[in-house]
Structure formats: C-alpha cells, structure tokens
C-alpha cells in the first residue's frame, strides 16, 4: 500500500505499508553537489542491500560493540510518552523503532529508502506481534517525507546526513513533520576531537573496519572500507559545530550534542521550535555539558 501524500495527514496504520509520495516541502540543493550525493546514495543503497540478514550483529561489531549503547542514548533523548507518535527515519532493520516501543509504549512510523532494509525490519516484526501492533513501515526518502506538517510528536534518525545532498534542507524537512515542542534526536558516527584518540580512530577505521568486515563476508569488507572514507569526508565538510548550526537554522531549539565512546559516536537532540515549545533539558539530561552552543561531553 502506498504511503499517503502530505495532504492526507497522518499515515494510516498498516504494518506493511510501502511507497513514497512527492516532496511535501522544498529541498534546496545545488546541482553539482546533488549529483555527487545521488551517486553516493545510490552507491550506499547498493552496498547495504545484501546486508540486512547480519546487520544487527555486524553493526555492533563494526562500532566496536558500542552501537547498542549509542542507540540507548538516542532513545533516552526522545523522552516520549505512552501513545505518542514517533517517526524513525533511516530505520534500517528497525532496531531504534523497537527500542522506542519497548521503552515508551509509543506508536512508531519507521521509514527507510531501502526495500532490503525494510525487509529486515519486516522479519523482526514477524517475530514480535507486540511490535507489529505499534510499528508501521514505509518506504521513502528523508529529503521528501510523504507526511503532513506536524504529524508526529517526536522524530529520530540514524546514520543519515552523510548520504544526503543538502543536510540543511534535509533537517528542515525532518523538522517540518514534528509538532512544536516535540523532540528530534539523531545518532551518527563521529571523529574523536582528541588527537591521540583520533589517530587510534583512523587506524581502526582504515584497517580494523575492513578487516572485521572481511571476517564476515566480502560485502561487509566493502562496507568497512566505505565507512572508513565516508565518515571523515563528511566531517571535513561539516564539522560538528557546523552540524549544530544547521540544526538550529532548521528551527530546532535547545540543541545538545553528547559525544560517545571517546568521540567515535555522537548523539544530538533538540526541541522543535514553536509556541508550545517545552524548551531546555528535561530531568536527567546532561545540560551541564553544554558548551560552545551545545557540544556535550563524552558518554
């Protein structure tokens, strides 16, 4: 079943919903960068297509066992209430969507551009009737969400901005579908700021990631090599301080960043601006780590 167009309001409940509509909001991108990004997205889609069967286990291994802890920090930043609606963008095989439901008892729409990854998420739901009742799967792109303005209480996304033509426009599009006062949170690989740890990180990404991938399969070896290039390339173009500026420019307020695992990962969160903005960090948040516009400490 096709996903509803933006004018149709909130998506209907259908655990196996697929498809995408035209852009509901403007996506401003210069032609040349857009071409490069389309090539990068197409390459990534082809690269990850054979991987869903082992994705959960190998994603943890490629992050040196830290990916599950990073996901928990991402989910904790959302602070949803039972019954609230959360959009999980770039859901992959649905790991974050699952944790959102298990932690909060919320309703999740899980979106990904990869039919293969959604197949992995669908297999996850087939094993868990309790999840299937609360998670809707749709196929679509973050740059052109087939969803109405303010349709969701909160939004999460993982490992996304490295693949889009215009991160600023994509963040505006993500914020568009969140109601004022809602939380937006993301998880991404990062580059450690400390020179010693950064050198160790480079050694691991350039040698360790491909070797770990090769131990699993030829496809995962290629994935390791791809990540070793794409992560530092992104931060060369968009240092973390610049990324936080893009969040604020998209209408997201109270933006915080929490470096994870000595800077190898980063969780960023903020609140959708508007008249109902709840604002500020909630109980238990690391507001004291905020410095230079929201750069949190390691966790």
Largest Cα separation within the chain, whole Å, is 52
Which DSSP category does 149 fall into? T
Q: In what helix (H) or strand (E) does residue 201 lie, and over which residues does it extend?
A: helix 195-203
Q: Strands 107-112, 252-260: parallel, antiparallel or unpaired by DSSP? A: unpaired
Asked if residue 197 belongs to a domain, the reply is: no
Give me the pLDDT at residue 284, please.
Answer: 35
Number of separate domains in the chain: 1
Asked if residue 193 belongs to a domain, the reply is: no
Asked if residue 198 belongs to a domain, the reply is: no
C-beta separation of 84 from 154 below 8 A: yes
CA atoms in the 13 A half-sphere facing the CB of 171: 26
Give me the pLDDT at residue 30, please.
Answer: 29
Please give the Cα distance from 198 to 188 (Å, whole number). 16
Please give the Cα distance from 46 to 39 (Å, whole number). 11
Q: What is the pLDDT along the chain (299 residues), one digit of tens a residue?
A: 333 323 333 333 333 333 333 222 222 222 334 444 556 566 555 555 555 555 666 566 666 778 889 999 999 999 999 999 999 999 999 999 999 999 999 999 999 998 988 998 999 999 999 999 999 999 999 999 999 999 999 999 999 999 899 999 999 999 999 999 999 999 999 999 999 998 988 888 778 777 776 776 666 667 667 777 888 899 999 999 999 999 999 999 999 999 998 898 999 999 999 865 444 444 333 333 332 334 445 56
Give me the pLDDT at residue 118, please.
Answer: 93
User: What length does the chain have?
Assistant: 299
Please give the Cα distance from 256 to 287 (Å, whole number). 8
Asked if residue 266 belongs to a domain, the reply is: yes
Give me the pLDDT at residue 281, please.
Answer: 40
Asked if residue 232 belongs to a domain, the reply is: no
Give me the pLDDT at residue 60, please.
Answer: 65
Please give the Cα distance from 260 to 255 (Å, whole number). 16
C-beta separation of 83 from 245 below 8 A: no
SS3 assignment, position 263 = helix
Asked if residue 208 belongs to a domain, the reply is: no
Domain coverage including residue 276 = 6-188+239-298
CATH no. for residue 132? Answer: 3.40.50.150
| Encoded tokens for 265 | 């990962």
Q: In what helix (H) or strand (E) does residue 72 lie, and over which residues does it extend?
A: helix 67-78
Asked if residue 233 belongs to a domain, the reply is: no
């Amino acid at each position: 079943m096709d996903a509803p167009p933006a004018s149709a309001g909130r998506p209907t409940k259908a655990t196996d919903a697929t498809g995408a509509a035209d852009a509901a909001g403007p996506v401003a991108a210069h032609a040349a960068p857009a071409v490069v990004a389309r090539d990068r997205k197409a390459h990534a889609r082809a690269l990850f297509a054979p991987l869903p069967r082992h994705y959960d286990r190998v994603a943890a291994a490629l992050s040196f066992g830290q990916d599950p802890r990073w996901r928990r920090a991402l989910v904790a930043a959302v602070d949803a209430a039972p019954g609230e609606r959360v959009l999980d963008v770039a859901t992959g095989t649905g790991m974050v969507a699952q944790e959102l439901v298990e932690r909060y008892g919320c309703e999740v729409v899980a979106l990904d551009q990869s039919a293969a990854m959604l197949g992995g998420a669908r297999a996850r739901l087939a094993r868990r009737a309790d999840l299937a009742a609360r998670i809707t799967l749709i196929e679509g792109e973050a740059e052109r969400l087939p969803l109405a303005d303010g349709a969701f209480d909160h939004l999460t996304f993982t490992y996304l901005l490295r693949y889009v033509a215009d991160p600023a426009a994509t963040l505006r599009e993500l914020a568009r579908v969140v109601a004022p006062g809602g939380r937006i949170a993301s998880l991404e690989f990062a580059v450690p700021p400390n020179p010693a740890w950064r050198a160790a990180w480079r050694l691991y990404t350039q040698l360790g990631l491909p070797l770990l991938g090769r131990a699993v399969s030829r496809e995962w070896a290629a994935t390791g090599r791809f990540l070793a290039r794409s992560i530092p390339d992104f931060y060369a173009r968009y240092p973390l301080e610049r990324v936080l500026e893009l969040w604020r420019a998209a209408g997201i307020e109270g933006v915080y960043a929490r470096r994870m695992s000595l800077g190898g990962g980063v969780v960023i969160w903020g609140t959708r601006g508007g008249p109902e903005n709840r604002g500020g960090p909630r109980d238990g948040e690391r507001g004291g780590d905020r410095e230079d516009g929201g750069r949190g400490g390691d966790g």
